[in-house]
Structure 1
Amino acid sequence: MTLPPLRRLAAAALLPLLALAFPAQATQYPLTVTDLAGRQVTIPRKPERVVLQDGRNISILAMLDRDDPFARVVLWNNIPSRADEGFWNILRGAWPKAAAIPDMGFGDNGQVNAEQVMTSRPQLVVAEARALGALKEAGVDQRLAQLNIPLLLVDSFDDPVPNAVRSVELLGQVLDREAEAAEFAGFARERFARVQAGIAAAGTRPNVFIETRAGFAGPEACCFTQGRVGWGPLVEAAGGHNIGADLVPGASGEVTMETVIARRPDIYVMTGANWRGRGAVTLPFGYGGDQGAVAKSLARLEARPGFAQVEAARSGQVFGVWHGFYNHVLNIVGLEALAKAFHPQQFADLNPDETYRTILARFTHIPAQPFLISATAPRVGG
């Protein structure tokens, strides 16, 4: 029997309570699970030595190993130190030993230092599903298999809306932290159900163009976007139609300003962070973000040739949001920010800032610090 929408929401709201009423049992090893790439993975023992291919997944460990997210990490690609300096400063301030964990020095395309991985004697390697091709090409997956070291794939990029939460649940099971994982999963799914109910009530979907990494390549560059991964599914889940999915054949690509103008987007979104690239126009969202600096940079990017002809610019519907949500376990916060921008009447009471603070306070021991999630750009022409 299919439950009516309101009853489905009520059932979703009960999930965290049921998890408390029936606490999770200790994980029994060896354990065989299905990872987020659909692979069967056997975990022979409780992992106490973990390698992270994508260091941003330390945020998942912060929900599971709350007292010390770095307790099991023996090697990682410390992407936060290069792409999210504010967050990294908070992490190493709270857990100073994090700075001593070896960093392989790569980005998020799947590279690892195979020799470092093997010599770190891991009991589990955690990687993003998008990295599997690179790991196979380098033969890393075979070397791990020969040494009976499990490779577990999680995902917050290819299909981010369901899979970010599923990744928490998967790692919770593998690391014997199922109760902690269930607490967050229940909260996140309840928040998502609220967004979906509001979108259904709205009945229409605005056409949205999302310019990812706006300003990163310089003050005149435009317009890099994502199709059916990362920000694309987040736009759709927030109640918009992602124009980029119609324009780029792959995961992402460049679109000309003329093409954007011709598609007449109702809403234009720029993503950014506190990047320090040469020539970059920084949209300093995130930890330590400054509203004034963000407004100034948004105005500069709106001054690019042709931008004033974009439909959304003429109607004052240009927004900015923290870039990191596109590939992050806390993408529910970014999704709420988008939903509020796309459907302001339905989501007048939605507060992404409160959601972010609640997650940190209830499900992690990460110290609370001001975090700038989003902003409205100045109206073009005054």
Structure 2
Amino acid sequence: MSKIKSLAASLLVTATFLPAMALAGDVVTVTDITGREVEVEVPVEKVILGEGRQIYFTAALDGEDPFKRVVGWRDDFEKADNNGYHQYLEKYPEMADLPTFGGMKNGTFDVEQAVALQPDVIILNLDAKVATEEGGYIEKLGKVGIPVVYVDFREKPMENTEPSMRLIGKLYGKEDKAEEFIEFRASEIAKVTDKLAAQSDLAKPVVFVERAGGYSDDCCMSFGNENFGKMVEMAGGINMAAEIIPGTFGTVNPEQIIASDPDQIIVTGANWELYVPGGNWVGVGAGADPEVSADKLAGLMERPGFTGVKAVRDNNVHAIWHQFYNSPYQFVAVQQIAKWLHPELFADLDPEATFQELHDRFLPIDYRPGYFVSLNSSK
């Protein structure tokens, strides 16, 4: 604590003698996703990303140089999305030299390191809020003039993605770009929801979504009425776990899967080689080999709780990139799920083309297929 106070005093003294720096931008009051009002000088020039995967939204707004204002980030990107990390690394090798942090939730976030980087703002995910408050991080950082804001693409993404993108657009001085992204996202979601709303007698299949299938030997993590659970509902399905899991995340047991006998199964996956080397996870993601992904997906269906259920008998088993659950790109997942659940109704819908357009218009990297795979060759 003495080191923090000493460094804080040093920074405050420095700020006193550099008034021109404080006038470089406008100090505005922004409201974060929790309703907190926070004063921030915008546009921010130095940002600490509370999660490495926040590069997903940073790249969508700072497409010309996604790392220009990132002075530090959490060390999760390479582990959670190895394919995506290395695609960015190919184009931006300097990102490997960025200072990395542990997480707020596991108590490994280094306050002194953060203060030394002198960020204009630290952006945290909503799920870090409890740990951040318990650790007193906001107060500690506030004493040295470092504001903290919360965004959310995970807990309630369909409710919080738009305000989160607007908040980041305000911070980055990219408000027009944020609105362009929001408009694109909304129009692509409407291609699904408008068509479904026009159906008077839509038959909705029961869908079981397994979160990170094969990541561990336990079965089975899933989603309640939010995140991928909500995406299934938006895509014209019935989320099997909605009445079992009261919140966003939870588990169901194999017996519940057998009893529900779902019509469709969707497994989320990514390249988690650094988390679970040689694991049974399905490594969908940028540039993933579809044959390898399909083989691993088929292997997961041999576990107790899956063999013999209707979805497996009919080959209506699919895998989708896990990180749609934690990024503003989830509208692509809504389209793909709709196409799996209602192939005839959405025969003309092309989620791959949608993701391609997202890359072309907003992202600094090229689109590499591999984010989806199905055991049903007709889908």
* TM-score, normalisation: structure 1: 0.86
* The one of 22, 25, 36 aligned to 2:33: 36
Residue 70 (structure 2) pairs with residue 63 (structure 1): no
Shift of 1:104: 1.0
| Paired residues of 1:110 and 1:132 also in contact (CA < 8 A) | no
Give me the whole-angstrom Cα distance separating, in 1, the residues matched to 2:156 and 2:139: 26
| AA matched with 2:110 | N
Change over 3 Å in CA distance of 1:175–1:222 after alignment to 2: same
| Paired residues of 1:298 and 1:378 also in contact (CA < 8 A) | no
Residue 166 (structure 2) pairs with residue 169 (structure 1): yes
Query: Where does 1:215-294 land on structure 2 (aligned, <5 Å)?
Result: 215-218=214-217, 221-276=218-273, 277-278=276-277, 280-294=279-293
Find the residue that maps to 2:72 and give its secondary structure. Answer: strand
Give me the whole-angstrom Cα distance separating, in 2, the residues matched to 1:348 and 1:83: 32
| AA matched with 1:371 | P
Shift of 1:342: 1.5
| AA matched with 2:181 | F
Find the residue that maps to 1:61 and give its secondary structure. Answer: helix
Give me the whole-angstrom Cα distance separating, in 2, the residues matched to 1:371 and 1:159: 27
Query: Where does 1:42-121 land on structure 2 (aligned, <5 Å)?
Result: 42-106=39-103, 112-121=109-118
| AA matched with 2:344 | Q
Greater alpha carbon shift after TM alignment, 304-313 vs 339-348: 304-313
1:199 aligns with 196
2:317 aligns with 318
Shift of 1:306: 4.1
Shift of 1:28: 7.2
Runs (5+) with no aligned partner, structure 2: 1-23
Residue 307 (structure 2) pairs with residue 308 (structure 1): yes
Find the residue that maps to 1:245 and give its secondary structure. Answer: coil
Change over 3 Å in CA distance of 1:108–1:69 after alignment to 2: farther
| AA matched with 2:244 | L
2:157 aligns with 160
| AA matched with 1:81 | E
Change over 3 Å in CA distance of 1:300–1:76 after alignment to 2: same
| Paired residues of 1:285 and 1:371 also in contact (CA < 8 A) | no
| Paired residues of 1:282 and 1:297 also in contact (CA < 8 A) | yes
| AA matched with 1:350 | L
Percent identity for Structure 1 against Structure 2 = 35
| AA matched with 1:309 | G
Change over 3 Å in CA distance of 1:287–1:107 after alignment to 2: farther
1:346 aligns with 345
Residue 142 (structure 2) pairs with residue 145 (structure 1): yes
2:368 aligns with 370
Aligned residues: 350
| Paired residues of 1:68 and 1:95 also in contact (CA < 8 A) | no
Shift of 1:207: 1.7
Runs (5+) with no aligned partner, structure 1: 1-26
| Paired residues of 2:214 and 2:279 also in contact (CA < 8 A) | yes
